Amino acid sequence: MFESYIKEMVETRRALHRRPELGWTEFETTWYVCSHLEKWGIPFLLGTQVINPKFVMGRDEKAVKDAIDRAKKHGVPADFIEKTEGYTGAAAIIETGRPGPVTALRCDMDALPVRESDSPDHLPAKLGFASDRPGLMHACGHDGHTAVGLEVARWIHEHKEEFCGTIKILFQPAEEGVRGGLPMSESGIVDDVDWLLGSHVGGVLHSGEVCVQDDGFMASTKFDIEFTGQEAHAGSDPQKGHSALVAAACATMMLQGIPRHREGETRVSVGKLVAGEGRNIVAAHALMQMEVRGGTQAVNDFMVDNVNRIIEAVETAYQVKAKITRVGETSTLVVCPPLLDKVEEAMRAVPGIKILPRYHGADGSEDCSWLIRKVASHGGQAGFFLYGCEQKGHHRPDFEIQDETNLPVAFKIFLSFVKLINQRH
Amino acid sequence: MFESYIKEMVETRRALHRRPELGWTEFETTWYVCSHLEKWGIPFLLGTQVINPKFVMGRDEKAVKDAIDRAKKHGVPADFIEKTEGYTGAAAIIETGRPGPVTALRCDMDALPVRESDSPDHLPAKLGFASDRPGLMHACGHDGHTAVGLEVARWIHEHKEEFCGTIKILFQPAEEGVRGGLPMSESGIVDDVDWLLGSHVGGVLHSGEVCVQDDGFMASTKFDIEFTGQEAHAGSDPQKGHSALVAAACATMMLQGIPRHREGETRVSVGKLVAGEGRNIVAAHALMQMEVRGGTQAVNDFMVDNVNRIIEAVETAYQVKAKITRVGETSTLVVCPPLLDKVEEAMRAVPGIKILPRYHGADGSEDCSWLIRKVASHGGQAGFFLYGCEQKGHHRPDFEIQDETNLPVAFKIFLSFVKLINQRH
Amino acid sequence: MFESYIKEMVETRRALHRRPELGWTEFETTWYVCSHLEKWGIPFLLGTQVINPKFVMGRDEKAVKDAIDRAKKHGVPADFIEKTEGYTGAAAIIETGRPGPVTALRCDMDALPVRESDSPDHLPAKLGFASDRPGLMHACGHDGHTAVGLEVARWIHEHKEEFCGTIKILFQPAEEGVRGGLPMSESGIVDDVDWLLGSHVGGVLHSGEVCVQDDGFMASTKFDIEFTGQEAHAGSDPQKGHSALVAAACATMMLQGIPRHREGETRVSVGKLVAGEGRNIVAAHALMQMEVRGGTQAVNDFMVDNVNRIIEAVETAYQVKAKITRVGETSTLVVCPPLLDKVEEAMRAVPGIKILPRYHGADGSEDCSWLIRKVASHGGQAGFFLYGCEQKGHHRPDFEIQDETNLPVAFKIFLSFVKLINQRH
Amino acid sequence: MFESYIKEMVETRRALHRRPELGWTEFETTWYVCSHLEKWGIPFLLGTQVINPKFVMGRDEKAVKDAIDRAKKHGVPADFIEKTEGYTGAAAIIETGRPGPVTALRCDMDALPVRESDSPDHLPAKLGFASDRPGLMHACGHDGHTAVGLEVARWIHEHKEEFCGTIKILFQPAEEGVRGGLPMSESGIVDDVDWLLGSHVGGVLHSGEVCVQDDGFMASTKFDIEFTGQEAHAGSDPQKGHSALVAAACATMMLQGIPRHREGETRVSVGKLVAGEGRNIVAAHALMQMEVRGGTQAVNDFMVDNVNRIIEAVETAYQVKAKITRVGETSTLVVCPPLLDKVEEAMRAVPGIKILPRYHGADGSEDCSWLIRKVASHGGQAGFFLYGCEQKGHHRPDFEIQDETNLPVAFKIFLSFVKLINQRH
């Protein structure tokens, strides 16, 4: 019954897997989505209709320009690029023409700067759809999310007569770094939404397992920190230099040691550091990319406060200047119990899956939290579910999903949910 | 009398200043030198005739390839590139045809990864010959050294009738990082040399001041250290990751703290660190470029020993693997008093300069030490002199020399020295 | 009805507060307890009858000797000391002579190395019962626990006719550092126990609030780490020294940065460091007292593994030797639901208190876990409850309890519990 | 001819070795010196006649009180103690009654907090005069210096008829930590001195070798740094604590890494750290004893500036307060060539020793620099010589001198020098 959808879903997922794109540069992915929607006759919104530029964080103008060039070379039409206004992301809008609730289903699209495993045991390598952009990889399954979203849109569109109200499928950019959720939530696209549902593959769940989440996104803040010191010859004039590299290294050690917190989980990650000009030159520049997380907003604030003090401290100690830029931010999960009940009801209608207890482990951040928060803020119902796969850990070179078996589960839960909410009377 | 030489010397220096090239990639510079030698009819040697590949350190094959492409685009003939066998550097050989001593004068050619100041006060910016390769700069005066060497060659060649023996002008690549001195010294090019003289602009000397050096090069070892850890999602699975970035940061703090040493100066510089894949991924890779120096060989060995232990320690603590590659090495200065007397005699014949006491401050490393050591090892005489300029510190964006007044001093001392040694009887 | 008990309880608590004693040195406290039990005619056990020396950790023979001398000077009879065999702690044994369950109620006795606040706002200072042993303080309320235990013993003894079975009141030493729980659990004293109940004042609860705990003790391991380096004159021979102090400082920075863990809370505390011989001597010795905790046993094992690797690493880096001694260890809470039901039933019988939901925040370690584990291991029921007070944080100079209002709550819950379990039929 | 002096010198040295006293607590040593001077009829000055309290650094009133009690118990008369006014140190004043130069010979008296080796190979252990004050040791030879000074005083006094002018023998306290030199130099005791000579045993010299020093004391500043943080329970409330211990550890790592300096040697030593209250309490207090040195005053200032910034930084990062107290300070050597010539002339008159070239290795600090500086400042001549011994390194548990052979060398040089300067005409 769903065979052709599932077949195409797997094709889409593998095509996207081959062309991973970092957040805010998903022009090929956005085009892939929209060209299909167009082919099927599904209307969609683009650019500032789905992204509010005032809330955009962590988007590098230069990287966007390079991405546009690259996308054009790879066949994305110039006039489509123009319509994006430089902002990736899209929303399919299926109007049934009948009064009824507005339901939004949300998926995300971006990849990670991870070099994909070329081990013959690694499925994408084995089956020939590994990333052909070295150093980039869909190592968190968003390729699968987008593939699911696209087929959900097609199926609903092709069965529109069975539904009432409006169904939106949101294709959110830049989830990694939690940068795209806030500007999408502030674009107006969910202002009229009554029900919103997002999802993620993997996590602690195994293939065939599903659950809703009733707590657990960590609040998180992402920083770029740029240190500027003073160059000098490290051999003949070490005393004249102020090393941005050593300042950043010291800050790293101090950041790792921010105290744990009674009130909730804490995380701190100095994920990237590029520092120095040459071996025998005292380093004048360092760029650190880091983030903190907290099990509650207050715990995240505690982490942010520590980051600020530590950076101020190394400025003093090492006579460097540090510029701190907030490049991403997300919040904890607002929980809407009635929606969770509905989703579990939807799940029970899907055969062959195992519904696990509601999950509340605080072990990741997810900027769907902003969309959920927005919908809840005007009285709507919003939430999130997980569906399993067999994998060795997210964000790793050997992350993999079993697309043929795992993705249909999400596809069916989404449909089942829409049937519950938007069923024509 | 020297006017045309000095005019051309300044032109050469400024032309080279515009096209800075890092060590082992000086194809445009080598071509600049050799095309002039050729024009003047001076024979020269290239490639493995002046560089022994077995002793080459810190040469990146990929960077060399890119440099060759870039040089070709910039007009360097393909057949010239071929003659270099991929190794930069050259030696002009002036045979007088009369029996007499073999004298070598040595200069170096490479630039640094320093972004040049664009302040209007900075001479190259003001006069319009600033680097046109952003991020690279002749911030240690090697452009001036090469310009001096070239005019010295021309003058001797044009006055060959006044001399006996053989005069070689060595254009050594890759002095920064002390990578080129050893392979040039092992190429055979100085095996028959009786007298060798090198020099450097700047240091502690002001314009018009000169001195010989009777101690003071620090022994030095340069390392590339590649850390490999384990990637993981920093939010959901921090315990699964082994951070190469944190390991490198911790090593940096420990390296900075290697104890001082009674027997001589010590230096340690972690000059460059590139680590991590993304903000929320535990960093799997880090590449550190660092170096140590010691006032004596034993002190340098002490530093090297500490480096090895510290790296081994962070491997244990952070469960990372570290690959240590020795990419540069130099030794302390072997002193030949008779040569120093000769050089001071030569200096006294140059009007308008002030000869300072012999210098022995251990404040830099210089791989001319290998050439000096080689010549001294077979009974020759070798040494080094300094000549001043006004500058704010080497390896800085605002380093500058007053080429019209400073370079002629070196030019005249070299000529005066050759007249003392190779005067036709 | 309980007035005289409560009055004496407050007196006891304040007397003990004046004479704080660290773990394994509670000779005055043990004597205070036992002299009262004796006066009332309640049998009790001492020494190796309640402590199994084979499982004792973190007990310093010298400190015990000094404590015995001090206790004797303070009036503790020598023959009583002898009966303790050098081990503090005691157990009151109330045999009803009637068949019935064996119930154990557990309290702890030791104080902390905290200097008590002398602020006039601080209750003990204001009311004149502050610590008269400078630098030591009952900053965790164990004085109150012991006072409660003593009056519970007296009340049960005086109302023995109402009960069947046996009731033991355990006075456990050395809870701080989780050193006394394991050797008491291995002494045989709880081998016949059917029901065991422990409790703690404070935590997250306010005055009048109570709850049982159904999760949440962290597993914990305590280490003393002794570093031995090499002395040298820091001015003239820094290179000859291997600093135990710097090794310990570096280890501290690394320990603070042990990664967080998805599976449970982590804690690491380097609480004490005494290092070095003199300002200008490279430090040859350092003694670190530290601990780790984990929300699960596996997480604690992860922390211990990291400690071991980090210490091994600084041995390598700094050429020091480190001796790691495990001086305390505790485990997570084994939960017995039937007991929790019983305790909540007992609580409901106490008027004027508010029963909060079962608590499972992993925010401290408590070696009552060993006694609970032991009782559960042979089929008994065991657990723990909390009762509130107003305080600014445990282990702080300004920690305080409102003894007249808080302690009676625990007293009544214990009695109510015993009435449920050991009621004469 | 000198036999009885040498015999007594060795006895004195061994008696002093048995009773090592830290700086400002040398009451037994001062009494030993003065009781002998008194016995021999040599006048001497004490207390504020030789020490200016306004310039005293690093003197702990409590430690002085304890030392006075200890000295009294060990037989030092109370009225002598009273005469010291609490300040150790003394000066023997030998007036010849004949006009002539005023000459001062300076020795120092204090010991170190080093635990003496009990190896049977260690001379003091073997011969039975090892320290009987555990943890304290004459590990820098000041016991020998005082023994030499005392016999020099006796010999000159007994041969007073051969001399003119005045000879002062200065017994300076608290050289370790460079605390006593400045207040002695500001006491007036050297205001009339024409010639001043100090000396030290050991260093780089072997037995029988001697030399004058024509450079090389490092400038140095000694700091006590007291960190105050915030206590909290490390398990349940880690986020409430501000660890003084971690702040001090981080500062240690940063201090070790203060950059090297082109202009001169640098040293930094965090020699002692006592931090924390207990294993599971976030540490509220830490006391660090540290020092820096510089080959020039400017280099030392550079180090001091870095210390101040680093401490300020950790205050910010860790929310602790730090109190920095300057407890010792010394300067570089002022060189008086005419005196050095005289000393070498005096050395040539001593048979059986080897005069090495003038020494200028910057490898230690010596607060005789203040006395030398003071004498030179009013036109006098002052300097320092070294005499060798066989030893494994200063400030080590196995430091030793061969008193019977090494000390006579210094004794004879001092006498020979006085004969040159104060010879009766």
**Which residues have CB under 8 Å from C416's CB, separation 6+?**
C346, C347, C349, C350
Per-residue model confidence as pLDDT tens digits over B156-200: 999 999 999 999 999 999 999 889 999 999 999 999 999 999 999
Task: For chain D, list the contacting chains (3+ Cβ pairs, <8 Å).
Answer: A, B, C
* C280/D271 CB distance under 8 A: yes
DSSP D36: H
* C262/B246 CB distance under 8 A: no
Distance between CA A318 and CA A232 in Å, rounded?
A: 14
Q: For testing the chain D interface, which of C59, C218, C233, C293 should be mutated: the one with the most D CBs within 10 Å?
A: C233
> How many angstroms separate the CA of residue D254 from the nearest CA in chain C?
10
* A113/B293 CB distance under 8 A: no
- The whole-number pLDDT of residue A363 equals 61
Query: DSSP 3-state assignment of A92?
Result: strand
Asked if D405 has any chain C CB less than 8 Å from its own CB, the reply is no
pLDDT tens for chain A, residues 1 to 425: 799 999 999 999 999 999 999 999 999 999 999 999 999 999 999 999 999 999 999 999 999 999 999 999 999 999 999 999 999 999 999 999 999 999 999 999 999 999 999 999 999 999 999 999 999 999 999 999 999 999 999 999 999 999 999 999 999 999 998 899 999 999 999 999 999 999 999 988 999 999 999 877 889 999 999 999 999 989 889 999 999 999 999 999 999 999 999 989 999 999 999 999 989 899 999 999 999 999 988 999 999 999 999 999 999 999 999 999 999 988 888 899 999 999 999 999 999 999 999 987 656 788 999 999 999 999 999 999 999 999 988 989 999 999 999 999 999 999 999 999 999 98
Q: In which band, very low, low, confident or very high, does the pLDDT at C363 lie, cut at 50, 70 and 90?
A: low
Per-residue model confidence as pLDDT tens digits over D103-134: 999 999 999 999 999 999 999 999 999 999 99
For residue B254, the chain C residues in CB contact (below 8 A) are 250, 317
The second-level CATH assignment, the architecture, of A219-330 is 2-Layer Sandwich (3.30)
- B289, β-bridge pairs: B224, B272
> How many angstroms separate the CA of residue A256 from the nearest CA in chain C?
4
- Name which of B231, B249, B267 is nearest A396 (Cβ-Cβ): B231
Per-residue model confidence as pLDDT tens digits over D320-352: 999 999 999 988 888 999 999 999 999 999 999
Cα angle C243, C248, C250 (rounded to 5 degrees) comes to: 95
Q: CA nearest D327 in C: which residue?
A: C279
For B76, B202, D333, D410, the CA distances from C12, given in Å and listed in that order, are: 95, 81, 66, 69
Q: For testing the chain D interface, which of C178, C228, C250, C277 should be mutated: the one with the most D CBs within 10 Å?
A: C277
- The whole-number pLDDT of residue D363 equals 61
Nearest to B96 by CA among B403, B424, B343: B424
For residue C273, the chain D residues in CB contact (below 8 A) are 245, 248-249, 273-276, 286
Window 227-286 of B: residues touching D by CB (8 A cutoff) are: 253-254, 256-257, 260, 262, 265-268
Average the pLDDT over B283-309 and give the result.
Answer: 96
What SS3 string covers C174-205?
Answer: CCCCCCCHHHHHCCCCCCCCCEEEEEEECCCC
Distance between CA A172 and CA A33 in Å, rounded?
A: 11
Per-residue model confidence as pLDDT tens digits over D140-166: 999 999 999 999 999 999 999 999 999
* B252/A249 CB distance under 8 A: yes
- The whole-number pLDDT of residue C333 equals 86
Q: CA nearest C393 in A: which residue?
A: A262
For residue C314, the chain B residues in CB contact (below 8 A) are 313, 317
Are the beta carbons of C138 and C17 closer than 8 angstroms? yes
Q: For testing the chain A interface, which of D239, D262, D318 should be mutated: the one with the most A CBs within 10 Å?
A: D239
Q: First-to-last CA distance in chain A?
A: 23
Distance between CA B136 and CA B66 in Å, rounded?
A: 15
Q: In which band, very low, low, confident or very high, does the pLDDT at C362 lie, cut at 50, 70 and 90?
A: low
Residue by residue, DSSP assigns B355-384 as EPPPB----B--THHHHHHHHHHTT-EEEE
Q: Is the pLDDT of residue D236 over 90?
A: no
Q: First-to-last CA distance in chain D?
A: 23
Q: Say yes or no: domain A3-217+331-422 is CATH 3.40.630.10.
A: yes
* B272/A279 CB distance under 8 A: yes
Q: Is the pLDDT of residue B252 over 80?
A: yes
- B210, β-bridge pairs: B355, B387
Q: What are C163's two structure tokens? A: 């009960």
For residue D262, the chain B residues in CB contact (below 8 A) are 361, 363
Q: CA nearest A216 in C: which residue?
A: C262
For residue D240, the chain A residues in CB contact (below 8 A) are 262
Are the beta carbons of D275 and C264 closer than 8 angstroms? no
Average the pLDDT over C363-386 and give the result.
Answer: 91
Break chain D into its structural domains and give their ranges: 3-217+331-422, 219-330
For residue A284, the chain B residues in CB contact (below 8 A) are 397
Distance between CA D424 and CA C376 in Å, rounded?
A: 97
**Which CATH fold topology does C3-216+332-422 show?**
Aminopeptidase (3.40.630)
Q: In which band, very low, low, confident or very high, does the pLDDT at B108 lie, cut at 50, 70 and 90?
A: very high
For A196, A218, C174, D78, the CA distances from A337, given in Å and listed in that order, are: 13, 19, 46, 85
- D89, β-bridge pairs: none
Other CB atoms within 10 Å distance of the CB of residue C135: 12
Q: In which band, very low, low, confident or very high, does the pLDDT at D361 lie, cut at 50, 70 and 90?
A: low
- Name which of C241, C299, C313 is nearest B316 (Cβ-Cβ): C313
**Which residues have CB under 8 Å from C327's CB, separation 6+?**
C57, C58, C177, C179, C222, C223, C224, C289
- The whole-number pLDDT of residue C425 equals 80
For residue A218, the chain B residues in CB contact (below 8 A) are 235
For C32, C48, C370, D244, the CA distances from C28, given in Å and listed in that order, are: 6, 18, 25, 32
Phi–psi pair at A322, nearest 5 degrees: -125, 130
**Which residues have CB under 8 Å from B360's CB, separation 6+?**
B213, B214, B215, B216
Q: In which band, very low, low, confident or very high, does the pLDDT at C196 lie, cut at 50, 70 and 90?
A: very high
Task: For chain B, list the contacting chains (3+ Cβ pairs, <8 Å).
Answer: A, C, D
* A257/D246 CB distance under 8 A: yes
Asked if A301 has any chain C CB less than 8 Å from its own CB, the reply is no
- Name which of C246, C277, C395 is nearest D252 (Cβ-Cβ): C246
* A257/C260 CB distance under 8 A: no
* D253/A250 CB distance under 8 A: yes
Q: What are D335's two structure tokens? A: 């060189």
Average the pLDDT over B311-326 and give the result.
Answer: 97
Window 342-381 of B: residues touching D by CB (8 A cutoff) are: 361, 363
Asked if D308 has any chain A CB less than 8 Å from its own CB, the reply is no
**Which residues have CB under 8 Å from A360's CB, separation 6+?**
A213, A214, A215, A216
Per-residue model confidence as pLDDT tens digits over C242-287: 999 999 999 999 999 999 999 899 999 999 999 999 898 999 999 9
Distance of CA D131 to the CA centre of its chain: 18
Q: Indicate the average pLDDT of chain D.
A: 95
For residue B257, the chain C residues in CB contact (below 8 A) are 246
**Which residues have CB under 8 Å from C95's CB, separation 6+?**
C43, C166
CB contacts < 8 A, C to D, total 220
Q: Is the pLDDT of residue D362 over 60?
A: no
Q: CA nearest B293 in A: which residue?
A: A235
For residue B265, the chain D residues in CB contact (below 8 A) are 260, 265
Per-residue model confidence as pLDDT tens digits over C93-143: 999 999 999 999 999 999 999 999 999 999 999 999 999 999 999 999 999
Q: CA nearest A282 in D: which residue?
A: D259
Task: For chain A, list the contacting chains (3+ Cβ pairs, <8 Å).
Answer: B, C, D
CB contacts < 8 A, A to D, total 66
Phi–psi pair at D286, nearest 5 degrees: -150, 140
Distance between CA B365 and CA B297 in Å, rounded?
A: 12
Q: Is the pLDDT of residue B102 over 80?
A: yes
Q: CA nearest A241 in B: which residue?
A: B396
Task: For chain C, list the contacting chains (3+ Cβ pairs, <8 Å).
Answer: A, B, D
> Which of the two residues, B7 and B361, has the higher pLDDT score?
B7
CB contacts < 8 A, B to C, total 66
Number of H helices and E strands in chain A, helices first, is 12, 12
Nearest to C205 by CA among C391, C410, C405, C13: C391
Taking the C-alpha atoms of A375, A381, A384 and A387 in order, what is their torsion angle to the nearest 10 degrees? -140
Q: Is the pLDDT of residue B362 over 60?
A: no
Q: Indicate the average pLDDT of chain C.
A: 95
- Name which of A253, A254, A266 is nearest C260 (Cβ-Cβ): A266
Are the beta carbons of B198 and B371 closer than 8 angstroms? yes
* A290/B274 CB distance under 8 A: no
In A173-265, DSSP assigns E strands to: 195-201, 209-212, 219-228
- A376, β-bridge pairs: none
Q: In which band, very low, low, confident or very high, does the pLDDT at D400 lie, cut at 50, 70 and 90?
A: very high
- The whole-number pLDDT of residue B236 equals 84
Average the pLDDT over B217-223 and give the result.
Answer: 91
Tokens 């990372």, residue? Answer: B320
- The whole-number pLDDT of residue A360 equals 77
CB-side neighbour CA atoms (13 Å) of B108:
32
* D309/A316 CB distance under 8 A: yes
